[in-house]
Amino acid sequence: MAFVAFGVTFGASLAYLIGRRPAWDRVACAAAEIGELFAGLVLVTGVLWARTAWNTWWTWDPRLTTMLVLWLIYAGYLLVRRSVEDEARRARLAAVLGIIGFADVPIVALSIRWWRTIHPAVFDDKGAHMEPRMLVALLISLVAFAFLFASLMVVRVHLSELRDELESLQRSVL
């Protein structure tokens, strides 16, 4: 679901650069933040799983490393958003980063095919390699997390709207 979120950031960033509508910037920001949360959860819960499966908390495996890089890219994206004062410049810079950063998503997804890795390849050209009951559980959680992502997006975009309203009010007062 983190990949979906970063995909939304990519699409919204592209739409912002084309149309310059602030609404797209708000969507891109919200999706990046939620994607970062989900990616962080992947990393932390993955570490817990690795301790049990591989008897180590962390290894510089291609899948783990590229996922960590992806998390760092979007951490940088969120930091840039906080550090630039000018609204238009911030949105433009963030949109460029949101597009470039997405390049790491297919690298993370395909890393288990491109390089030698100890990470299991659950899905490949021949389908899913897991117990049918596990597949059902995976699909149910995928649907649940999709709803969670959509709900968080609505709430987070509204928060950005409030921030923009406050900024425009502050400008009109000053």
Interacting residues with another protein (CB under 8 A): 37, 40-41, 44-45, 48-49, 51-52, 148, 152, 155-156, 158-159, 162-163, 165-166, 169-170, 172-173
CB-side exposure of 125: number of CA atoms within 13 Å? Answer: 1
Could you tell me the smallest distance in angstroms from the CB atom of residue 100 to another protein? Answer: 25
Give the CA count within 13 Å in the CB-facing half-sphere of 92.
Answer: 6
**Which residue lies nearer to another protein by CB, 124 or 165?**
165
**125 or 154: whose CB is closer to another protein?**
154
Q: How far is the CB of 63 from another protein (least distance, A)?
A: 18
> Least distance in Å: CB of 170 to another protein?
7
Listed in sequence order, the DSSP H helices in 102-131 are 104-114
Q: Which is nearer to another protein, 103 or 166 (CB)?
A: 166
Nearer to another protein, 52 or 83 (CB): 52
Nearest-Å Rg of the Cα atoms of the chain is 18
What whole-number distance in Å separates Cα of residue 71 and Cα of residue 94?
Answer: 15
Q: 3-class DSSP state for residue 128?
A: strand
d(CA 46, CA 57): 9
Least distance (Å) from another protein to the CB of residue 162?
A: 4
